[in-house]
Amino acid sequence: MPTSQPQPSAPVALRASYRLQFHKDFPFAEGAALAPYLARLGISHVYTSPILTARRGSLHGYDVIAYDAVNPELGGEEAFRAMAAALRRHEIGIVLDIVPNHVAVGGDDNAMWLDLLRLGPASRYAGWFDVDFDSADPVLKGKVHAPFLGEPLQAVLAQGGLALEKGQGETGYALRYGDNLFPIRPEDQAGIDGQGQDAFRDPAALRALLARQNFVLDHWRNAGDRINWRRFFDVTQLGAVRMDEPAAFAAAHAIPLRLYEEGLIDGLRIDHIDGLADPARYCRELRLELDARQPRRPEDAAPGRALLLVEKILAAGEELPDWDVDGTTGYDFMNEVSALQHLEAAAQPLARSWAGISGRSPSFADEEVAARREILEHGFDGQREWLVAALAELAAAERPDATITRAALRRGLTDVLVHLRVYRSYVTGEKDEAALEPALDKALAAALAQPYADRQALTLLREMLAGPVSAASAGLRSGLIRRFHQLSAPLAAKAVEDTAFYRYGRLLSRNDVGFDPAEFAMSPGEFHERMRRRAADWPRALLATATHDHKRGEDLRARLAVISEMPQEWDEAVREWRGLNQALRPQALAAGDEYMLYQTLLGAWPLELDPGDGAGLRMLAERVGGWWRKALREAKLHSGWAMPDEDYEAQAQGFLEALLDPARSEAFLASLYRLQNRIAPAGALNGIVQMALKCTLPGAPDIYQGTEFWDFSLVDPDNRRPVDYAARETALAEDAPLAELCRSWRDGRVKQRLLRDLLQLRRQEPALFAAGRYEPVTVTGEGTGNILAFLRRHQGRAVLVCAVIHAETGMCDADAIAPQPEWWADTQLVRPAGLRDLQPVIGAALGEGDILVGTALGSCPVGVWRGAC
């Protein structure tokens, strides 16, 4: 790795990115064909899903099986180069998504994993995978736990489920179990040749052979308790890789770094940065590698320092550390703009409605604590025991007189992990840290505040994490802290986003990746302050409103946000629907599940769907049914992935199908349709506004594939459906007048048109959007709470933006997506000092003096003007 950093240059100019999900049915050739369309739209960079060789048929690319080749299912490196060239001809670069923290394991296709199973600690990859070969479990000592069996080993042997086969090359003999391959160690190869394969059809002979191997086969249900290697979250098919191992780092980054040096890509997006042992060190090392290659890039490559963006979930109040990166991939912005579009006054009424009907807690914090405890107990007990052992070893070395039991240490660690509100802290253990980071300190304080708190154990934990330790114990402490972080991050992901988010249903528009459901809304003042900080600290970070991981599409969330403007009407509607559907409702169906179903139907209802359209309703039932099955299993209350309750799921699906059957639910469908029709224009207003804000606020807008039209998608795989690009290209080419598009807003063309116009503005004012200050603009009059206005200013140039918020009461025309001019009465913007020569990008021409909102906006809920200052 480079030891010194070249003088940093200005960053690559990222005007707007467009995320494309590549897979065998959407290969690189499809991406190349989109180049003219994306250029007309105003995109500067395609932001690709991972491209290295992945598991066969992968629809996302995050299950990498080899670092040494571009995925042949996508067209291989030749097709990638052709796509890069096609994009470059239209002045579009590439930001590449890479997966440093895990690879796909199990199966029979990952040579690194198979080598580890074959050779155990002697494998060249033993240091790449985070395996505890010194496990306290005597059966696993020096071996790799392999919990890939569908039944206990004894049953598999009795049924003849393991077959000995001879492969090609150095692997030699291996045991086959379905799609899984378990290579036999070299020492046993000759013996098998001598005895013949048939000799191992006998279960006793096969068991004796297994006992000598470098792996231990086990039932998959035992993974959480026994596993001695680190997984990605709790997914046994994804094994964590140690990027602190130089050879692993070099292998994982060889192709991305080469593509950057050759000018084929302009930057990298790092998947799940919190899964790495030391994110700060990793980012700085990767930055050094990129900077070292920048001078060797071709002359026609995009100038500037490589883009380096990290996928990072930031908790409330948490800031991205200084890792020499350009910012996050935008989940934090997605949360902020969503919170802006919710009214705080509805938080308590909606919580009471949810609790009163569902019988569950009105507080998200209660759901989070319970989920953290359950998931830690049932999904990560093995990792927790590693952590307890590390803490006990360090405590024995540093506090030999302490009389604290392992059970007390386990309880103390559990309580801290349960109350931690971030994915991880950044305590390193490399030096004595007199004070813990605020998030970890708060978790310890919350644990100490519990009536059952073990104060001795918690005090000892604090000392071991941040107090002075001897030089001899420095390695023990670093190991303890690394293990702590590598448990806290997956625990947060699985317990909060993949469990509590599916249990808490106050308003589902506030339950999405990177969101904090406990933070229901954000005032314009707080939003302004965050945008000021963003302009100062992270002007190149991505601004996302939809991703391949979102739980609900950006316009579905925007529609549901309108409920926060009418909580009483929502409560009345839900109670009416429960009454109408009483005869259809299965007795076992939980009220909370029904409550969330109604929100989902309201949010996902297609704009063109009539309540009497049986075929359209069946299609909606299929989509919502896929979401509901996943939601029920993720919630783990009435079903689950480990133990699916197929009877409960079938009853739920039957209820959904009955609700969407016009012959059985005419009254319910009519009522649902009336409410959807009422809030749809305000929801479209919110959708237009959030898109416009991400194009004009500090940062770079990121557009997820297809969301230039309305996005009412649900969780994957619904959010990864094929995109109709022919319709989008046709709409863009038509170039209809904006007023006409605002009247025909239901077809989605207005969203695409405004996106194009705003990206064109970014092209015309690159310096202003890259480095411009952010200044709130004062609003006066009756509609003060219904406008967010701000100015971007840089070197004599300015852009003024005025966006409508919380205007459901002004939406009296079903064909309009903005309140009528008279609704605004005396609402006006106070013209910022020195602002002159304003020309409309979106909105009406303006005179001098203060700006009347009703006159300025017209038929669009956003106004944008460029001028001088």
Task: Encode pLDDT of 277-332 as tens digits.
Answer: 899 999 999 999 999 999 999 999 999 999 999 999 999 889 999 999 999 999 99
Pull the structure tokens for residue 665: 């639910």
Q: Which amino acid is at 619?
A: M
Place of tokens 């990222």: 14
Residue 69 C-alpha from the chain's centroid: 26
Query: Is the per-residue pLDDT at 434 higher than 50?
Result: no
The mean pLDDT of 27-56, rounded to a whole number, is 98
Phi, psi of 117 (to 5 degrees): -65, -40
CA dist 80 and 260 (Å) reads 13
The stretch 366-377 carries a mean pLDDT of 97
Give the per-residue pLDDT at 9: 58
CA distance 119 to 109: 17
Whole-angstrom CA distances from 156 to 216, 610, 649 are: 14, 53, 29
Write the burial class of residue 673 (CB in 10 Å: 0-12 exposed, 13-18 middle, 19+ buried).
Answer: middle
* DSSP letters for 240-307: EB-TTSHHHHHHHHHHHHHHHHTTS-SEEEES-GGGSS-HHHHHHHHHHHHHHHGGGS-TTSPPSBPE
Q: Averaged over 88-95, what is the pLDDT?
A: 97
State both tokens at 498.
């993949």
Token digits for 378? Answer: 């049932």
Closest CA to 840 of 767, 735, 688, 738: 738
The answer to whether residue 788 scores a pLDDT higher than 50 is yes
Query: Which tens digit of pLDDT belongs to each residue from 489-548?
Result: 999 999 999 999 999 999 999 999 999 999 999 999 999 999 999 999 999 999 999 999
Helix, strand, or coil here: 87? Answer: helix
pLDDT band at 840 (very low <50, low <70, confident <90, very high): very high
| Chain segment 137-146, per-residue pLDDT in tens | 999 999 999 9
Q: Is the pLDDT of residue 11 over 80?
A: no
Provide the whole-model pTM. 0.95
pLDDT of 409 over the 70 cut: yes
Which residue, chain included where needed, has tokens 């979401």? Answer: 627
User: Per the structure block, which two tokens stand in for 492?
Assistant: 């947060």
Instruction: Tell me what the mean pLDDT of segment 628-654 comes to.
Output: 97
pLDDT at 5 over 60: no
The dihedral formed by the CA atoms of 660, 662, 667 and 673, expressed in degrees to the nearest 10: 60
Amino acid occupying residue 682: A
Q: What is the rounded distance in angstroms from the CA atom of residue 97 to the CA atom of residue 564?
A: 36
Q: For residues 560 and 509, is the Cβ–Cβ distance under 8 A?
A: yes
pLDDT of residue 12: 75
Contact 538, 774 (CB under 8 A): no
Predicted pLDDT of residue 375: 97
| Average pLDDT along the chain | 95
The whole-angstrom separation of Cα 567 and Cα 571 is 6
Structure token pair of residue 175: 């045991």
Residue 432 pLDDT: 54
pLDDT of res. 169: 76
**CA 766 and chain centroid, separation:** 29
pLDDT category of residue 225 using cuts at 50, 70 and 90: very high
Token pair listed for 550:
């979102």
Distance, in Å, from the CA atom of 66 to the CA atom of 112, rounded to the nearest integer, reads 8
* pLDDT of 607 strictly over 80: yes
In the chain, what are the helix, strand and coil shares in percent, each to the nearest 5?
Answer: 50, 15, 35
Q: Which whole number is the average pLDDT over 397-424? A: 94
- Inter-residue contact 274 to 312 (CB < 8 Å): yes
The letter for the amino acid at 812 is C
Specify the pLDDT at position 431: 61
Q: What percent of the chain has pLDDT over 90?
A: 92
What is the percent of the chain where pLDDT is above 70? 98
Q: Examine the pLDDT at 628 and tell me if it is beyond 90.
A: yes
Q: Which helix (H) or strand (E) holds 186?
A: none
What is the pLDDT at residue 207? 96
pLDDT of residue 645: 97
| pLDDT for 698 | 98
Q: What are the CA-CA distances from residue 218 to residues 92, 177, 375, 413, 439 (Å)?
A: 49, 12, 21, 28, 38
In 3D, which of 660, 601, 372 has the Cα closest to residue 488? 372
For residue 728, what pLDDT is reported? 98
Distances (CA, A) of 854 to 738, 788, 809, 866: 17, 14, 15, 19
Where does residue 101 rank: exposed (0-12), middle (13-18), buried (19+ CB within 10 A)?
buried
DSSP state of 495: I
Amino acid at 821: P
Secondary structure element (H or E) that encloses residue 96, with its range? strand 93-98
What's the whole-number mean pLDDT along residues 709-734?
A: 96
